[in-house]
């Protein structure tokens, strides 16, 4: 069966916003090294204005609190419990957006897919596209009714350090890195203090910014084919980035091109470069 596009437009969402099975998620997130970063800053933006009916999903809160790494995927039990309370569950068609184009929303899209909920789309262009389209805005938080969420864990969409370490020398696996080229090559520093820059041996630089057009939307299939086409025939695809957020944007692009089986290295470079004596390539 053909793979559905992972994105929806602002106009599509406007015309379906009142559909009884549609639920909208605001996944706005501000990277901790950003000048705009402050405790609760992203949620305050949500409180000031959001798409009507949208619930707020915090990737730093719905996460594995026992891990020293940022916003790691939580256990299925925790994920299910949290999204049930947000009124998100079985039978719902989910649409997720954020205020950083769709970087954090791409991660939330991936999280739901790992947990077995494939009926989820990302708002192309994010909050900026919604505002530009004249979509309605609300500042009142919804009061969702709890909804049952059935987890069907898709472990093939998730990779850890040991698996990626093995994959880095496996000719059957291609690893795509979403960080800027300067960090990939080791020329520029990492934003997280104490981390060396460079890349996983054998990986390919695929900056997330190259996958987005000038309007802030995911590039067309033809444009993405020009960027990713040489990797599409790889038996196995894994994406990585700084901490597992922008890597999900590569997953969106691959999905648009018909590869819905690519996995994400959760923890990504933060995990890799934090290992004892990590194997780091440069140039």
Which domains does the chain possess?
A: 7-153 (3.40.250.10), 156-273 (3.40.250.10)
Closest CA to 179 of 168, 190, 167: 190
User: For all residues of the chain together, what is the average pLDDT?
Assistant: 95
Query: What number is the average pLDDT over the span 55-78?
Result: 96
Confidence (pLDDT) at 1? 55
Confidence (pLDDT) at 2? 66
Measured CA to CA, the distance from residue 114 to residue 134 in angstroms comes to 33
Tens of pLDDT, residues 103-123: 899 999 999 999 999 999 999
Please report, for residues 124, 221, 256, the alpha-carbon distance to residue 5 in angstroms, rounded to integers and kept in the order given.
Answer: 11, 10, 5
Tens of pLDDT, residues 204-225: 999 999 999 999 999 999 999 9
Report the share of the chain in percent with pLDDT over 90. Answer: 91
Asked if 144 and 86 touch (Cβ cutoff 8 Å), the reply is yes
Q: Which of 24, 241, 251, 254 is catalytic?
A: 241
Whether pLDDT at 183 is above 60: yes
Confidence (pLDDT) at 54? 98
Tens of pLDDT, residues 6-44: 999 999 999 999 999 999 999 999 887 777 777 788 999
Q: Is 217 a catalytic residue?
A: no
Tens of pLDDT, residues 113-164: 999 999 999 999 999 999 999 999 999 989 999 999 999 999 999 999 999 9
Tokens, residue 102:
């769709």
Whether pLDDT at 101 is above 80: no
Does the CA dihedral 166-111-6-101 come out positive or negative?
A: negative
């Amino acid at each position: 069966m053909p793979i559905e596009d992972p994105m929806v437009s602002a106009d599509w969402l406007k015309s379906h916003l009142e559909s009884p099975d549609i639920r909208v998620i605001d996944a706005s997130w501000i990277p901790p090294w950003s000048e705009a970063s402050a405790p609760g800053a992203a949620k305050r933006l949500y409180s000031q204005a959001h798409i009507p009916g949208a619930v707020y999903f915090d990737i730093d809160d719905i996460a594995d609190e026992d891990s020293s790494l940022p916003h790691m995927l939580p256990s299925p039990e925790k994920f299910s419990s949290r999204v049930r309370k947000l009124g998100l569950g079985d039978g719902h068609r989910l649409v997720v957006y954020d205020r950083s184009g769709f970087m954090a929303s791409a991660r939330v899209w991936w999280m739901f897919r790992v947990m077995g909920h494939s009926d989820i789309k990302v708002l192309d262009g994010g909050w900026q596209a919604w505002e530009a389209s004249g979509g309605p805005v609300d500042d009142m938080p919804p009061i969702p009714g709890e909804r049952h969420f059935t987890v069907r864990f898709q472990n093939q969409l998730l990779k850890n350090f040991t698996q990626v370490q093995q994959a880095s020398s496996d000719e059957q696996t291609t690893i795509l890195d979403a960080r800027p080229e300067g960090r990939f090559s080791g020329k520029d520093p990492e934003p997280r203090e104490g981390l060396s820059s460079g890349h996983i041996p054998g990986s390919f630089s695929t900056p997330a910014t190259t996958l987005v057009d000038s309007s802030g939307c995911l590039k067309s299939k033809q444009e993405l084919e020009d960027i990713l086409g040489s990797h599409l025939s790889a038996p196995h695809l894994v994406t990585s980035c700084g901490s597992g957020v922008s890597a999900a944007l590569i997953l969106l692009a691959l999905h648009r091109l018909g590869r819905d089986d690519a996995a994400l290295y959760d923890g990504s470079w933060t995990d890799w470069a934090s290992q004892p004596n990590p194997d780091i390539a440069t140039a």
